Structure 1
Amino acid sequence: MRNQEPERLRTERDGIGEIDLPADAYYGIHTSRAVRNFPFSGYRLHPAFIRAFAQVKQACAKTNALLGHLSGERGQAIMDACAEIAGGAFHDQIVVDPFQGGAGTSTNMNFNEVIAARAAERLGGDRGDRELVNPLRHVNMHQSTNDVFPTALRVAATDLLMELERAVASLQESLQRKETEFRDVVKVGRTELTDAVPMTLGMSFGAFAEAVSRDRWRIFKCRERIKRVNLGGTAIGTGLGAPRDYVLAVAGNLAAITGLPVSRAENLLDATQNADVFVEVSGMLKACAANLLKIGSDLRLLSSGPAAGLGEITLPPIQAGSSIMAGKVNPVMPEAVTQAALRVMGNDQTIALAAGLGQLELNHLLPLITHSLLESMTLLTASCLGLADNCVRGIEARPDRCRAHVEQSAALATVLVPVLGYDAVEKLVADARRNGTPIPAHMVEAGVAPADTVERLFSPRQLCKLGFTPGEYEEVNTP
């Protein structure tokens, strides 16, 4: 067996002591301590958050460089290092756990150290050369975790909301196409899982589409809630430790770098300590999750069986359903979406509690809010796209099955209540059941209405109308 070469190490020191680090690591001693202190979840920071955090750091460096607070060469190296991270490089060096104490200080220090090391490299120095580029003195200049962390969350959330809006639009469009495709398929409408009145399958999908369209609007409005950032407010929103010209300029530079309509909050103290806007956004995400939960449940019911259940639609068979029951196909996409929706609902409760537990001038639980909110957006985006692409677009109706349910159900008879009255229709249904005859056929046999009138009364066009006019029942007689 070959002898492995010992790992090359470098030693870094801080006010607590010293730690040996891998020589090729871009992160430093502060990050290493955080990794040791918070090995809680094994999760990584969300990629959108890493990108956003790097953009925030880039905006800060750009502002300091333009105002002469950072030397041109060093400032440019820091900006270039930030741009590399924002573009996808060095994400493996952002290693702190999302669940951490310190209101996100560990995350901020992880970025400060990686950016400083990469900037030092770009200037021809070594990683860890803190004289050339210092994580705190240069990279974190005029900043606090308490303004860069929540600003990065708002930038990341805005990006993910735009992705979610596109995914919701895709689901809405797929449902609308099915609304048109199934407009002539008559089926039984059900309340409390029992037969109610006739309708069309297209109407069912039209109702799904309307609910999703409201989600689309709500998600669009969410972006308005989070575009005000507290960048420049430093520790608690007073801007202490930062020059006034920096405070006034940095949010504008962030908008230019991200291409997003972010701007400085009017009250930086409010934006630093209060997290209610994230609760509001999460509530809108929960509404979307609730709609996905309802749609997923309905699709499972409508496709159930198919022989021994409702079986009125067929979901696309995207994978085998059992390791032992050959030929079985399960509604796996609605099931996956249901689980994602439930997770989003749980995250919403977590976010509300975390926001309410913030104390005085800072919410120390912002890392938890960040992880939960961004996870919810990602889950909903994937759920909407998965449901649209791998389920709804491939759904097929079973018109014969739908029609058989209609003819066997007393639901059709409800159409006659306005002209015959409840008691007469109840008797008509009882007679049809006793004779084992479908309602339409029994109406013709009992002389209630001629065949062409019965066909018209139960046609898709008639069922889709809003209400009735008295003339429609002229040929209907009391049995």
Structure 2
Amino acid sequence: MKQPMDSKSPSIRREKDALGEVEIPASALWGVHTKRALDNFPLSGQKIPAPFVRALALVKKACAETNLSLGYLDKQVGEAILTACDELADGTLADQIVVDPFQGGAGTSTNMNVNEVIAGRAAELLGGSRGDRELVSPLDHVNLHQSTNDVYPTALKVAALFLLKELETETGHLQQAFQIKETEFASVVKLGRTQMMDAVPMTLGMEFGAFGEAIARDRWRVFKSRERLKQVNLGGTAVGTGLGAPRAYIFKVVERLKAHTGVVIARSENLVDTTQNLDAFVEVSGMLKAFSVNLVKIASDLRLLSSGPKGGLGEITLPARQAGSSIMAGKVNPVIPEAVIQVGLRTMANDQMIGSAASMGQLDLNHLMPLVAHGLLESLTLLVGAARTFRTHCVEGITPNMDTCLAHVAASDTLLTVLVPFIGYDRVAELMAKAKNTGLSVSDLVVEEGVLTEAQVNEVLSPKRMQKMGFDAGDQAFFKGEHDQAGQ
């Protein structure tokens, strides 16, 4: 029934549902169901993520097209709905999606907000008012042959697939940035460290190569994650049985959605399973957690390697992005790695939450779907931004401090570890003790003691030797010959 404007309040219209009548702003495309959600869930003040809104709009479009093709929607009404879906998908109507992402009802409030906005805009396109629910009904037209329980999780998978594609691209760029630095830093000899203590020499290129290898695995994980989400339950309606939806519709609607989204999806072979179980989201979240673990570790390493720069390691310099202190003039902090670490920790926390929420689903539906949706989409959005920012604002601009790296190597007694296979552990231990007692650098001591020549010290510290896997008979002959000459 067409709703009259309130004569005393021209900016207000009235709408009814089974619970009674409510007042709605006349300018709003949304209606009574959205108003109830606004009143019931004033929780976070956050918005439904844009990729999710876009995905929901495309789901509604696929459903409307399928219903049109099968004769279940009037042509004029159906075409108006399709236009409204396009406007919602491209962001034109974004300000009308107003419900809080944290909500009871397994996503019903989000679904109804979208239904009402599409219906209101379609009615307007047909020459009616935004509140004319008789002309275009949110439920009988826009939500035809659907339920929240198949629309909402399907849209979540589509939105996640959009973001996973972006994340795969950004992860690939980050991997490449580290690999470029691996080549660029191949000749920079530095001290390796284990358990925060001096270890044996290596090259900075080898260290960055390890970073790149870890990110390469994450790129593969992100790619494989998309496979986990391709099975959707659209058409399954309430519990996955398809009750209330025509058989022909169930078999056509997913193909329509696939055409509109451009992502690889297919109708699940077991719609009941896909409706009630969320383990696919848990698996994807776990892969995102693995990526986050690597990002946190690498970002922490870069902070440490650049620390000081005078009172810390100072072996690399990160790009200066902003002033680091409101009191210490000239101080520049590693703000990009710090931001990346925070993204990683947030994603790890979301993974714990997603797993817990998925485990608490009961019987034929998981009532905590909105929490899963919010956590997963937040993690994906944060990681896309973190990977891009880490690369462009940090990794690509890193430079080595070669003199500092070499000074740390020369000052460390772990250089003697290289000699263990040739002169024995006990002799190496004696030399280490002598270096500490005399204050001589290890490189000077071994020459003074006749253990190595200066040429051999340079050989030991050459980038070529750092990159060589182990030692061979030629090394033994070289060391023995040089040692004999030094002793004569």
TM bracket, shorter-chain basis: over 0.9
Q: Pick the aligned partner of 2:64 from 53, 61, 66.
A: 61
* Residue aligning to 2:19: 16
> In the TM superposition, what is the alpha-carbon distance from 1:170 to its structure 2 partner?
1.4
Structure 1's unaligned 5+ residue stretches are none
What does the per-residue CA deviation read over 1:404-424, in whole Å, with 9 as the maximum and x for residues that have no partner? 000000121111111111111
What does the per-residue CA deviation read over 1:306-351, in whole Å, with 9 as the maximum and x for residues that have no partner? 0000110111110000000000000111111111110000000000
Matched, 1:190 2:193: yes
1:149-188 equivalence runs, <5 A = 149-188=152-191
* Residue aligning to 1:34: 37
Q: Pick the aligned partner of 2:95 from 80, 92, 95.
A: 92
Q: Is the 8 A contact 1:313 1:396 kept in 2?
A: yes
SS, match of residue 477 in structure 1 = helix
Matched, 1:474 2:480: yes
SS, match of residue 474 in structure 1 = helix
> In the TM superposition, what is the alpha-carbon distance from 1:270 to its structure 2 partner?
0.5
Q: Pick the aligned partner of 1:45 from 24, 45, 48.
A: 48
> In the TM superposition, what is the alpha-carbon distance from 1:173 to its structure 2 partner?
1.0
Distance 1:71 1:8 in 2: 31
Q: Which moved more, 1:468-477 or 1:95-104?
A: 468-477
What does the per-residue CA deviation read over 1:373-394, in whole Å, with 9 as the maximum and x for residues that have no partner? 0000011111111110001111
SS, match of residue 173 in structure 1 = helix
Q: CA RMSD in A?
A: 1.2
* Residue aligning to 2:227: 224
Q: Is the 8 A contact 2:190 2:408 kept in 1?
A: yes
1:331-370 equivalence runs, <5 A = 331-370=334-373
* Structure 1 letter corresponding to 2:451: V
1:116-127 equivalence runs, <5 A = 116-127=119-130
* Structure 2 letter corresponding to 1:308: G
What does the per-residue CA deviation read over 1:141-197, in whole Å, with 9 as the maximum and x for residues that have no partner? 000000000000000000000011111111111111111111111111000000011
Distance 1:441 1:138 in 2: 86
* Alignment TM-score, normalising by the size of structure 2: 0.96
* Structure 2 letter corresponding to 1:315: L
> In the TM superposition, what is the alpha-carbon distance from 1:70 to its structure 2 partner?
0.6
* Structure 2 letter corresponding to 1:149: Y
> In the TM superposition, what is the alpha-carbon distance from 1:476 to its structure 2 partner?
4.7
Matched, 1:371 2:374: yes
SS, match of residue 23 in structure 2 = strand
1:260-271 equivalence runs, <5 A = 260-271=263-274
> In the TM superposition, what is the alpha-carbon distance from 1:223 to its structure 2 partner?
0.3
Distance 2:383 2:215 in 1: 12
Distance 1:152 1:113 in 2: 17
Distance 2:283 2:333 in 1: 36
Distance 2:55 2:112 in 1: 15
Matched, 1:246 2:249: yes
Distance 2:344 2:292 in 1: 5
What does the per-residue CA deviation read over 1:226-274, in whole Å, with 9 as the maximum and x for residues that have no partner? 0110000000000000000000100000001111111100100010000
SS, match of residue 234 in structure 2 = coil
Q: Is the 8 A contact 1:450 1:475 kept in 2?
A: no
Q: Is the 8 A contact 1:9 1:23 kept in 2?
A: yes
Distance 2:85 2:187 in 1: 57
> In the TM superposition, what is the alpha-carbon distance from 1:285 to its structure 2 partner?
0.1
Distance 1:323 1:334 in 2: 20
Q: Pick the aligned partner of 1:425 from 428, 451, 462.
A: 428
> In the TM superposition, what is the alpha-carbon distance from 1:7 to its structure 2 partner?
6.6
Distance 1:39 1:475 in 2: 80
* Residue aligning to 1:106: 109
* Residue aligning to 2:5: none
* Residue aligning to 1:214: 217
SS, match of residue 255 in structure 1 = helix
Q: Is the 8 A contact 2:453 2:483 kept in 1?
A: no
* Residue aligning to 1:394: 397
Distance 2:258 2:38 in 1: 32
Distance 2:481 2:175 in 1: 41
Structure 2's unaligned 5+ residue stretches are 1-7
> In the TM superposition, what is the alpha-carbon distance from 1:305 to its structure 2 partner?
0.5
Q: Pick the aligned partner of 1:314 from 281, 294, 317.
A: 317
Q: Is the 8 A contact 1:7 1:22 kept in 2?
A: no
Q: Is the 8 A contact 1:299 1:334 kept in 2?
A: yes
SS, match of residue 201 in structure 2 = strand
Q: Is the 8 A contact 1:296 1:334 kept in 2?
A: yes
* Residue aligning to 2:306: 303
Distance 2:122 2:450 in 1: 90
SS, match of residue 109 in structure 1 = helix
Distance 2:480 2:217 in 1: 41
* Structure 2 letter corresponding to 1:97: D
Q: Is the 8 A contact 1:453 1:475 kept in 2?
A: no
Q: Which moved more, 1:6-15 or 1:166-175?
A: 6-15
Distance 1:450 1:108 in 2: 77
* Residue aligning to 2:151: 148
* Structure 2 letter corresponding to 1:348: D
SS, match of residue 199 in structure 2 = strand
> In the TM superposition, what is the alpha-carbon distance from 1:6 to its structure 2 partner?
6.6
Distance 1:227 1:400 in 2: 52
SS, match of residue 92 in structure 2 = coil
Distance 1:475 1:386 in 2: 52
* Residue aligning to 1:277: 280
* Residue aligning to 1:446: 449
Distance 1:214 1:176 in 2: 13
Distance 1:22 1:420 in 2: 87
Matched, 1:255 2:244: no
* Alignment TM-score, normalising by the size of structure 1: 0.98
What does the per-residue CA deviation read over 1:47-96, in whole Å, with 9 as the maximum and x for residues that have no partner? 00000000000000000000111111111111111011111111110000
Q: Pick the aligned partner of 1:326 from 323, 326, 329.
A: 329
Q: Is the 8 A contact 2:57 2:88 kept in 1?
A: yes
* Residue aligning to 1:71: 74
